[in-house]
Amino acid sequence: MSEQEIIESGNLELYVCGALSEKEANEVNTAVQSSKEVEKEVEEIEETLLKLGESVAPSLSSHIWNAIATGISGVRRMDTNRGTNWAAWTGWAAAILCVVGLFFMMNQNNNLEEQLQITTLENEDLQQDLQDTEDRLVQTTTVLDIIRSKEYDAYTLPGNQSVAPEAFAKLYYNRTENVAYIDTKGLPTPPRGKVYQAWSLIVDPLTPTSMGVMQNGIEIEEGIYKFEGFPTPEAIGITLEPEGGSESPTLEQLYILGPVTTP
């Protein structure tokens, strides 16, 4: 075919999109190499397709645009002064579908990458949750081993009948190391702005010494608090105090009171 026949055939648009057979593609490739006019026509087709793609496709990252530009470099404007050339229009239609399909696939690829990132983050969260659960299990096992050991004496501390008759607490006390664990799961949840405070008590004369406020810093397991470094008690009391604790126990809010006798 002559240069003009090749230009008007519609094959150049199909050539740009890679939709020609190997034989036809070789023929057009030979024409492009031997004819400046055909080469210019191909470049203008490529440029037009890129502009068309920009107008119909979603926004894409620069590296995707570079990939498209590498595969389609150059494109021309259609000459509207020519008569209707159905072969050329067929080529253009195929070229348009090619570009739109290419952008659709790129967008789908972006969506898949985003889903992959979300899945990866979810897996990381699950792994962290699993690790936290395993750490919690190890901690719980350690606490149980401690309080069940022969070094610790166990006491059930009853509720104050006039304040909280149904309440109770568990005390695990190591007299040698002067370390105590208090399980408060038998106590009601303190109201907002209030905390429980444990007291080491000498009965005669009544001498209370604060063991500490039951807060996150000393909670070694849910509802179980560790105390150390307090005077050897004859009894243990637990009162409800304002956040931060009090210097002396509020007896009107004495929830727990129980003796700590020597076995």
Instruction: Count structural domains, the chain.
Output: 2
- Burial class of residue 218 (count of CB atoms within 10 Å of its CB; 0-12, 13-18, 19+): middle
Residue 132 lies in a domain: no
Q: Does residue 220 sit in helix, strand or coil?
A: strand
Q: How many CB atoms lie within 10 A of CB 249?
A: 23
Residue 144 lies in a domain: no
Residue 103 lies in a domain: yes
The domain boundary residue, chosen from 77, 94, 110: 110
Residue 137 lies in a domain: no
Judge whether 186 and 169 are in contact, CB under 8 Å: yes
Residue 135 lies in a domain: no
Q: Provide the pLDDT for residue 131.
A: 67
- Candidate ranges 72-76, 87-91, 195-199, 215-219; pick with highest mean pLDDT: 195-199
**Averaged pLDDT for residues 112-141:** 72
Q: Provide the pLDDT for residue 55.
A: 59
Judge whether 8 and 85 are in contact, CB under 8 Å: yes
Question: Is there a single domain that holds both residue 15 and residue 66?
Answer: yes
Domain that holds residue 206: 153-259
> What is the CATH classification number for the domain harbouring 240?
2.60.40
Question: Is there a single domain that holds both residue 96 and residue 157?
Answer: no
Locate tokens 């243990």: which residue?
Answer: 236
pLDDT top residue among 170 and 219: 170
- Burial class of residue 40 (count of CB atoms within 10 Å of its CB; 0-12, 13-18, 19+): middle
pLDDT top residue among 245 and 50: 245
The domain boundary residue, chosen from 110, 143, 164: 110
Question: Is there a single domain that holds both residue 16 and residue 78?
Answer: yes
Residue 119 lies in a domain: no
Q: Provide the pLDDT for residue 83.
A: 44
The rounded distance, in Å, linking the Cα atoms of 11 and 32 is: 12
Q: Provide the pLDDT for residue 173.
A: 93
The rounded distance, in Å, linking the Cα atoms of 49 and 245 is: 75
Give me the DSSP letters along 165-199: TT-EEEEEEETTTTEEEEE-TTSPPPPTTEEEEEE
Contacts of residue 127, Cβ cutoff 8 Å, sequence gap at least 6: none
Residue 54 lies in a domain: yes
Half-sphere exposure of 29 (CA within 13 A, CB side): 8
The domain boundary residue, chosen from 78, 110, 142: 110
Question: Is there a single domain that holds both residue 16 and residue 99?
Answer: yes
The rounded distance, in Å, linking the Cα atoms of 143 and 131 is: 18
Q: Provide the pLDDT for residue 208.
A: 94
Residue 228 lies in a domain: yes
Question: Is there a single domain that holds both residue 78 and residue 158?
Answer: no
Question: Is there a single domain that holds both residue 7 and residue 106?
Answer: yes
User: 53: which 2 tokens?
Assistant: 């793609």
pLDDT, tens digit, 9 for 90 and up, residues 237-252: 999 999 999 999 999 9
Ranges of H-type helices in 197-260: none
Q: How far apart are the first and last CA of the chain?
A: 112
178 dihedral zone (left: phi>0; alpha: psi -120 to 50; beta): left
Confidence band, pLDDT 50/70/90 cuts, at residue 132 = low
The rounded distance, in Å, linking the Cα atoms of 215 and 213 is: 6
